[in-house]
């Protein structure tokens, strides 16, 4: 497959992933807004912080390293799919070991919530761990689907699973509110169960079919999906390197939840408010930036040869990679700047509409404003690390583990100190500092990587002066509008405030269309499926 074909397939994957994440975030957004009216913030805090942390920790540590190693260019070029599948099945016993360890910690070492306010905590811990183990059963199928660009399978499977989860949650919250944590445990088990069923049903139908033969799929029958005796030492070593890195990355990704869970710096109610604001603030980051990062990591890993100098690679493929990296950097930077500027003036209004005085009073608006700035750093870091992790050699990955260790320790320390000083806002400040250091490391690596070549992809971090001017004017105008029209006024004045922001946003978008023609062309031809089909 040529680099252009890979880019087209990955662009399609990114587009569908973005649409999928938009649907997920909208459903989760509506679900949270609904449950806020029926359950306590203490219950939400335990579910969204403590139990979700248990699940995400188990799943991430069990599969992240395997995914990165098995989807890298080396695994596809130097190793058979039999070795890859054997390695991926190791995630299941590994998840069982992590489940036993984490459940023991969650039940016996952490503070147990009050049984009256948060009933059925112990069974919920075990059920959330079980859902994580259940999801790992589909890991070999997921990697096969990603590597062979089965984009619709992921969309259909995760859509059905999410719809089932939301339906179960709504029904039980309305008709069986006394079940407490059993509601969310059952919904999560249904979600992971639907994922397993959808992937299994697809591959049972697909393997041995004419479509599989036409696509030269490496497996012939369902039995090929089961593990057999064959060992791949190099890919196993690469997995171990990524495992050490993923352990540290998990601390950075979920660091504030670890601090809240293990150090008890916030009450369960405050944790619930923080998590809701955090999810609201990260919606764009999750449904735009994360799918782009995941999809284009596959592109860079397939186009570039890991650990090889830029001058010793195919120059046409390096040129495409540099062009894509520059456009991606400019795209996420512009989106991040828009969120930062408009997030300041519309945080209070957004929280008031979403959760009423429960969220808009107290520290909620300040949290969301700070998170708007953090989103900009998330955007840039996602794309830069996406390229760096695809280009690094195994030795460089091992060295970077020490950097991640230092960042992890400093993050935990800063989180505790800044939370003690600034409350829940301290979590976001600590995240910003650590994210800035990660971006700096990635920028230095990219600069060194392309230093002796003609390509300068870091120019994507320099938006045009007209865009900066439009953003500056919009920030001033919307801040003045908030002072006069929001948020203790009636709905008519709030609508005026919304209209002012809409006009300012249109002005910024016009500035983008006038000055960033290459970026607009990249979005049209690579990230918009309908347009791309007409022009390919």
Query: What are the per-10-residue average pLDDT scores of the chain (536 residues)?
Result: 60 62 69 76 86 92 80 52 81 93 94 86 95 92 82 81 88 88 94 93 85 77 75 61 69 78 80 80 73 79 78 80 89 92 89 75 82 90 88 80 80 84 83 90 89 84 92 94 78 87 95 90 71 42
pLDDT recorded at residue 220: 78
* Three-class secondary structure of residue 452 per DSSP: coil
Cβ atoms of 416 and 404 within 8 Å: the answer is no
Phi-psi region of 113 (alpha: psi -120 to 50; beta: other; left: phi over 0): beta
| 301 and 248 co-located in one domain | no
| 66 and 44 co-located in one domain | yes
Single out the residue of 300, 346, 343, 306 nearest to residue 324, CA to CA. 300
Cis status, amide bond into 487, omega within 30 of 0: yes
**CA distance linking residue 326 with residue 461, whole number of Å:** 8
pLDDT recorded at residue 530: 41
Phi-psi region of 264 (alpha: psi -120 to 50; beta: other; left: phi over 0): left
Cβ atoms of 257 and 49 within 8 Å: the answer is yes
Domain termination site, one of 253, 274, 293 = 253
**CA distance linking residue 26 with residue 283, whole number of Å:** 9
| 139 and 226 co-located in one domain | yes
**CA distance linking residue 275 with residue 169, whole number of Å:** 18
- Look at residue 378 and tell me if it is in a domain: yes
Would you tell me how many other CB atoms lie within 10 Å of the CB of residue 324?
24
Number of structural domains found in the chain: 2
- Look at residue 280 and tell me if it is in a domain: yes
- Look at residue 488 and tell me if it is in a domain: no
Single out the residue of 25, 44, 26, 27 nearest to residue 35, CA to CA. 44
DSSP state of 456: -
| 199 and 312 co-located in one domain | no
Range of the domain at 206: 39-253
- Look at residue 536 and tell me if it is in a domain: no
Q: Which residue carries 């059952």 as its tokens?
A: 186
> Which residues, in sequence order, are CB contacts of 5 under 8 Å at separation 6+?
none
Q: At what angle do helices 121-136 and 181-206 cross, to 10 degrees?
A: 10
User: Tokens for 191?
Assistant: 């979600």
Question: What is the C-alpha R_g of the chain?
Answer: 23
pLDDT recorded at residue 533: 45
Domain termination site, one of 195, 218, 253 = 253
* Three-class secondary structure of residue 76 per DSSP: helix
| 246 and 337 co-located in one domain | no
- Look at residue 71 and tell me if it is in a domain: yes
User: Tokens for 304?
Assistant: 């570039």
pLDDT recorded at residue 536: 41
pLDDT recorded at residue 503: 96
User: Tokens for 325?
Assistant: 């990296």
Phi and psi at 343, nearest 5°, equal -65, -30
Phi and psi at 219, nearest 5°, equal -105, 145
From the centroid of its chain, how far is CA 27? 16
- Look at residue 506 and tell me if it is in a domain: no
| 368 and 303 co-located in one domain | yes
- Look at residue 382 and tell me if it is in a domain: yes
| 274 and 181 co-located in one domain | no
**CA distance linking residue 512 with residue 523, whole number of Å:** 12
- Look at residue 6 and tell me if it is in a domain: no
Per-residue burial over 242-258, b = 16 or more CB atoms within 10 Å of its CB, e = otherwise: bbbbbbbbbbbbbbbbb
| 248 and 266 co-located in one domain | no
**CA distance linking residue 188 with residue 184, whole number of Å:** 6
| 431 and 297 co-located in one domain | yes
pLDDT recorded at residue 14: 60
| 206 and 283 co-located in one domain | no
Q: List C-alpha distances in Å: 439 to 199, 372, 380, 435, 442.
A: 36, 17, 7, 6, 5
pLDDT recorded at residue 143: 85
User: Tokens for 292?
Assistant: 């782009």
| 328 and 221 co-located in one domain | no
Domain termination site, one of 233, 253, 273 = 253
| 398 and 521 co-located in one domain | yes
């Amino acid at each position: 497959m040529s680099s252009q074909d890979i880019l087209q397939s990955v662009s399609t994957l990114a587009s569908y992933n973005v649409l999928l994440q938009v649907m997920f975030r909208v459903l989760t957004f509506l679900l949270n807004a609904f449950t806020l009216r029926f359950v306590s913030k203490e219950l939400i805090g335990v579910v969204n912080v403590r139990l979700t942390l248990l699940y995400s920790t188990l799943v991430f540590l069990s599969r992240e390293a395997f995914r990165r190693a098995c989807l890298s260019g080396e695994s596809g070029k130097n190793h058979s799919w039999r070795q890859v599948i054997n390695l991926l099945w190791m995630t299941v016993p590994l998840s069982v070991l992590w489940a036993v360890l984490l459940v023991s910690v969650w039940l016996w070492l952490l503070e147990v919530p009050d049984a009256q306010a948060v009933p059925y905590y112990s069974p919920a811990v075990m059920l959330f761990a079980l859902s994580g183990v259940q999801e790992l059963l589909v890991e070999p199928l997921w990697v096969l689907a990603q590597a062979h660009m089965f984009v619709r399978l992921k969309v259909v499977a995760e859509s059905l699973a999410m719809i089932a989860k939301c339906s179960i949650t709504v029904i039980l919250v309305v008709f069986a509110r006394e079940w407490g944590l059993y509601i969310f445990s059952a919904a999560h088990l249904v979600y992971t169960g639907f994922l397993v069923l959808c992937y299994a049903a697809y591959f049972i139908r697909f393997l041995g079919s004419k479509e599989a033969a036409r696509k030269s799929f490496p497996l012939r029958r369902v039995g090929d999906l089961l593990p057999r005796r064959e060992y791949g030492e190099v890919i196993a070593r690469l997995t171990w390197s990524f495992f050490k890195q993923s352990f540290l990355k998990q601390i950075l990704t979920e660091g504030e939840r670890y601090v809240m869970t293990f150090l008890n710096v916030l009450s369960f109610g405050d944790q619930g408010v923080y998590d809701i604001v955090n999810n609201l603030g990260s919606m764009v980051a999750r449904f735009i930036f994360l799918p782009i990062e995941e999809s284009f990591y596959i592109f860079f890993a397939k186009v570039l040869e890991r650990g090889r100098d830029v001058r010793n690679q195919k120059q046409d493929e390096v040129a495409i990679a540099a062009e894509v990296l520059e456009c991606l950097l400019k795209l996420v930077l512009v989106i991040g700047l828009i969120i930062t500027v408009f997030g300041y003036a519309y945080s209070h209004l957004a929280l008031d509409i979403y959760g009423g005085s429960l969220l808009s009073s107290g520290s909620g608006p300040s949290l969301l404003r700070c998170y708007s700035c953090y989103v900009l750093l998330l955007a840039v870091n996602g794309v830069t690390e996406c390229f760096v992790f695809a280009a690094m050699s195994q030795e460089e990955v091992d060295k970077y583990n020490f950097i991640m260790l230092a960042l992890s320790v400093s993050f935990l320390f800063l989180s505790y100190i800044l939370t003690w000083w600034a409350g829940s806002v301290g979590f976001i400040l600590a995240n910003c500092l650590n994210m800035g250091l990660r971006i700096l490391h990635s920028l230095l690596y990219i600069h060194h990587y392309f230093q002796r070549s003609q390509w300068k992809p870091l120019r994507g971090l320099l938006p045009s002066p007209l865009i900066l001017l439009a953003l500056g004017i919009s920030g001033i105008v919307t801040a003045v509008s908030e002072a006069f029209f929001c948020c203790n006024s009636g709905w008519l004045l709030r609508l005026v405030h919304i209209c002012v922001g809409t006009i300012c946003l249109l002005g910024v978008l016009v500035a983008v269309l006038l000055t960033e023609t290459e970026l607009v062309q990249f979005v049209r031809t690579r990230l918009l499926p309908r347009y791309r089909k007409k022009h390919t």
